[in-house]
Amino acid sequence: MTAPGTPCPHRPCKGTIRVSGYCGTCRRHPSTAPTREEAGPAALPGPRAARCDDDAPAGTPRAAATPGALDRDGLVQLPSIPPPADADVVRAASRRPEGGRRCGVQDCTGTIGLSYDDGPAPDEGFCPKCGTRYSFLPQLGPGDVVAGQYRVIGYLSPGGTGWVYLAEDLDLPGQRVVLKAQINTQDAAARRKAVEERRSLTTLHHRDIVGIIASKQHRREGESEPTDYIVMEYVAGRPLDQLLRSSDEELTELFGEPFALDHVVTYGCKILGALEYLHDQGLLYCDMKPENVIHYDRQIKVIDLGAVRRIDDHDSALVHTPRFAPKKRERDERGFLVDSDLFTVGRTLAALATRAKVPAGLAARSFDRLIGRATHDDPAARFTSAVQMSRQLWEVLREHRALDRGERYPERSTRFEPTAVTFGAALGAAPALTHWTLRPEGVAPPDLATGVPTPQETVRALPGPVADPEDPAAVLLGGLAGHAPERTAERVEDDPALRTVEVALWLCRSYLLSGESGPAGDPARAAAEKWLGEAVRLMGPDVAGYDWRPPWHRGLLLLARGRVKDAQGEFAAVYATVPGEWAPKLALGYCAEYLRGTLAAPRPAGDEAPAVQAAAAEEARTRAREAEAEAEAYYRAGWARDRAHTSAAFGLARLRLLHGDRADAVRILDQVPTTSRTYDLARIAALRILTGRVTGTAPSQADLREAGERLAELPRDGARDRLVAEIRENVLAGHPAPGRPVPWRSRLALAVGRGTVTTDAEPDFPRLPPGELFDGAASREALAGLLYGSLRTLVGQAREAQRAELLDRAYAVRPQSRF
């Protein structure tokens, strides 16, 4: 805060800063003045000139905003809204507040301002309970001058407890201010509220909250006591409730593009920033709604602080708007708290979102989950701070931008640790020698392994939560031996200081990862469940019932036991609590993919009638398609946002291969960045997809040509030799010797049907792509010779026990010599 008496930083103003924090001459806050660097000529062509000039002083030329661009805070750059003309915002005649109001006399339960006998509600009268006189007539009219300095231009609106006027500062011609006074000057409660509002306003200095300039007293002719007026800055812009009444065409013209979810989220983050500041000052806003937020220039400002009250105030009358506030029963039982304030923000954003275009992909669902948590009927399930809600809202913005605009935001999560393990990456490994040694003689090579990974493999690839830094033992977790959790468990038993929530959760994960890989139970998994129960006990029911970490660990335990459907429910609970995070979406994507496979599996024939069986099969196919769409949405959300989530990339590739779409599967894997630790896995997986048998179909010549080009980029090592052998064997299996069955469909063969056929004569052998992979393979015999050479090369990599099997397989494909 700038000290009183400091010269005003605005130029050419010569005033000084008052105790209120505003200049006594120009009435502006010093925070809105440009810094020396920003004000100088050198700043104009620099980076600030290219982004939103949020802090530029009034009258400074603005750089043209690119629709949808981000500002320095990482939020959407809002369009510039010019100040409206006075005539467009004021009324020449007053409009009395609607409905009755509670009498302001302490302990009086009377209601004043009610109409009788279907007549108009009176502007003046007496309380029917205590007889105290009241008046709803405005104290000022257009042309009146307050304190010899402020001339009233017109009425803005009746506020919650006071009349609001637009006035001109006669000391600064052209400068507009807002005057606010009580609606009923006889209302003692309103007077106390006005005093509280003045005290609150004079201590608040936030760029997104309306500021107070001064407090003045003015006595009208005929009045015995002067009336107090708050002089506030005038925010010349457009209330957000006007967005709800605007047409799609008007919104598109205003924002330079269709009004979208990222605009709603930007409003939300700015509003939450203002409320966070209020909460830090021990204050509640209480009456958040679209009409209490003004979009002016390229910024927003929260106005009408008449409802502000202290967090510990449970006695004064609550000023709120029922359709945006929690239910009356809740307000009566527990009062208005921080989560109640966040509830009103959630309702405000939900109202604004009704005017936004439908978001792409999963972003709409994530936003709905966020609103659902903010406005949950159970207060304990809501966000507990504006920072917490803002962080998740910011994450949803990133997800929306990635899905809708193709922008990626690789940023470390504040909730989950990064993971170096990828599930489903076996597709990117060169085949082991057992691919040949364990296969019986005469059996064709198997289909490419494109099935969903096992639940146990996925458990090892999903991340663990970031440790709570407030936990007493959090600093010790990094030095514990994860491969030997029993040693840590023994220490915890001996040292009660180590028996904390984070240590218990760490032991749960460590035992889980050290257990057996099969779905059956084992002692390690039982120990993991024991320590999860201990973590829940240490949290206590009030925390554990709403914390996302217990359901995350329960989901991992259920996955380890193969109970994927039950695990899906736990991960869904985590998603509802932290809707902006990537980890629960990756877990849900896997669950949907796995369950899709169980739904798509052939149904055993039963005793039902054929029509019943057909209906059940069609229902299963429908559910399988729905599960596949779910897996696609979850995987896509993670991969579009951050290319580090390669488990999502492999998942998307597997989904493409369900329909034989090699090209799109390869395209997705090619998006893995060269800096990723899984880059080589992705390259090998793409090569195997291009050359393997997928859904019973052989690769095309174009696929093989591309594979040859990709193979040339791989290092010459044992893995490359095995890949070459696999590719040559796959192609040869599609072109058997005359008189032998064709084991799988081939797009290379010219005369092979959809089923297994037997040929009496060798069909025309296709022209294979040139290059090292098929060098000289102009016939089946030549290709068999190349495969023979590959298998002989693998003999040198094999253990002695495997060599005989590999030699036998090599001689089995060796073309017969004519000599």
| 439 Cα distance to chain centroid | 47
Residue 507 pLDDT? 94
Asked if pLDDT for residue 402 goes beyond 50, the answer is yes
**What is the DSSP code (8-state) at residue 301?**
E
Q: What pLDDT is attached to residue 45?
A: 29
The pTM assigned to this predicted structure is 0.84
Q: ∠ at Cα 75 (71, 79), nearest 5°?
A: 65
Which residues make Cβ contacts (< 8 Å) with residue 255, sequence separation at least 6?
A: 67, 79, 263
Give the H/E segment covering residue 722.
Answer: helix 718-733
- Residue 354 CA to chain centroid, in angstroms? 18
CA distance 270 to 356: 18
Average pLDDT for 264-284: 96
**Cα gap 653→638, rounded to integer Å:** 14
Binned at pLDDT 50, 70 and 90, residue 767 comes out as confident
What the chain holds in terms of domains, given with CATH numbers, is: 86-233 (3.30.200.20), 241-405 (1.10.510.10), 692-819 (no CATH)
- The predicted structure's pLDDT at residue 131: 83
pLDDT at residue 158, as a whole number: 57
Q: Please, are residues 304 and 292 in contact by the beta-carbon 8 Å criterion?
A: yes
Q: Is 695 buried (19+), middle (13-18) or exposed (0-12) by CB count in 10 A?
A: middle
Nearest to 187 by CA among 215, 222, 160, 155: 160
Q: Which tokens sit at 348?
A: 């405000």
The 10s digit of each residue's pLDDT in 621-640 is 999 999 999 999 999 999 99
Query: Cβ atoms within 10 A of the Cβ of 715, count?
Result: 7
Return d(Cα 814, Cα 780) in angstroms, integer.
11
Helix (H, G, I), strand (E, B) or coil at 124: strand
Cis amide leading into 465 (omega within 30)? no
521 has a pLDDT exceeding 70: no
47 pLDDT higher than 60: no
Q: What is the pLDDT of residue 753?
A: 33
Asked whether the predicted pLDDT for residue 105 surpasses 80, the reply is no
Q: Name the E strands within 527-664.
A: none
CA angle in degrees (0–180, nearest 5) for 116-122-124: 135
**315-324, 612-621, 656-665, 745-754 — most confident range:** 656-665
Q: pLDDT digits over 204-235, tens only?
A: 889 999 988 888 888 877 677 788 888 989 99
Q: Between 750 and 288, whose confidence is greater? A: 288
- Residues 716, 719, 721, 725: is their CA dihedral positive or negative? negative
Judged by DSSP in three states, 3 sits in coil
CA contacts within 13 A on the Cβ side of 627: 20
- Dihedral (Cα; 528, 533, 538, 542), 10-degree rounding: 140
Catalytic residues: 287
Provide the token pair at 280. Answer: 């830090």
pLDDT of residue 30: 67
Token representation of residue 23? 């200049």
3-state secondary structure of 102: strand
Comparing 307 with 342, the larger pLDDT belongs to 342
631, 586 Cβ separation under 8 angstroms: no
Fill in the DSSP letter of residue 76.
B
* CA 623 from centre of chain: 27
Distance CA 286, CA 275 (A): 10
What pLDDT was estimated at residue 18?
62
Q: What are the tens digits of pLDDT across the range 131-182?
A: 887 777 778 888 999 989 999 999 886 555 567 899 999 998 889 999 988 6
Residue 558's pLDDT band (boundaries 50, 70, 90)? very high
pLDDT given at position 201: 66
Mean pLDDT of 521-531: 88
Quick one: pLDDT band at residue 749, thresholds 50, 70, 90? very low
- Report pLDDT for 646: 95
pLDDT, mean of residues 451-465: 95
Mean pLDDT of the chain: 84
DSSP assignment of 766-780 equals: P-PPPSGGGTT--SH
Residue 276 CA: distances (Å) to CA of 206, 273, 385, 456 = 10, 5, 8, 42
Average pLDDT estimate for 528-556? 95
Mean pLDDT, residues 770-778 taken together: 88
**Which phi and psi (to 5°) does residue 176 adopt?**
-100, 145
Condensed to tens digits (0 to 9), the pLDDT of residues 775-800 reads 888 888 999 999 999 999 999 999 99
Give Cα separations from 164 to 82, 90, 158, 213 (angstroms): 22, 10, 6, 15
> CB of 647 within 8 A of CB of 668?
no
The Cα–Cα gap between 594 and 624 comes to 10
pLDDT at residue 458 tops 50: yes
% of the chain surpassing 90 pLDDT: 55
Cβ of 310: how many Cβ atoms within 10 Å?
A: 14
Mean predicted confidence (pLDDT) in 693-718: 91
* Dihedral (CA of 479, 483, 485, 486) sign: negative
Q: Return the H-helix or E-strand segment holding 213.
A: strand 212-218
pLDDT at 115: 74
Residue 107 pLDDT exceeds 80: no
